[in-house]
Amino acid sequence: MLSDSLYQEVILDHARSPRGYGLLEVEHQHIHQENPSCGDQLDLQLIVGEDDRIQAIAFQGHGCVISQASASMMTEVIEGKTIAEAEEIMAQFSGMMTGDSTIDPEDLPGDLPALQGVKRFPVRVRCATLAWHALDALLEAHKS
**CB of 63 or CB of 117, closer to Zn ion:** 63
Query: Which one-letter amino acid corresponds to residue 12?
Result: L
**Within 111-140, which residues bind Zn ion (CB under 5 A)?**
127
**CB of 10 or CB of 64, closer to Zn ion:** 64
Site string for Zn ion, 40-79 (x = CB under 5 A): x----------------------xx--x------------
Minimum separation from the CB atom of position 128 to Zn ion (A): 8
**CB of 92 or CB of 129, closer to Zn ion:** 129
CA distances from 86 to 1, 27, 107 (A): 29, 21, 15
Minimum separation from the CB atom of position 51 to Zn ion (A): 35
User: What is the spatial distance between Cα 91 and Cα 71, in angstroms, rounded to a whole number?
Assistant: 16
Minimum separation from the CB atom of position 120 to Zn ion (A): 15
**CB of 20 or CB of 61, closer to Zn ion:** 61
# of chain residues touching Zn ion (CB under 5 A)? 6
Q: What angle do CA 14, 22, 142 make, to 5 degrees?
A: 100
Torsions phi, psi of 113, nearest 5? -55, -25
DSSP state of 21: B
Residue 53 pairs in a beta bridge with: 82
Q: How does strand 29-35 pair with strand 54-62?
A: unpaired
Binding residues for Zn ion (CB under 5 A) = 38, 40, 63-64, 67, 127
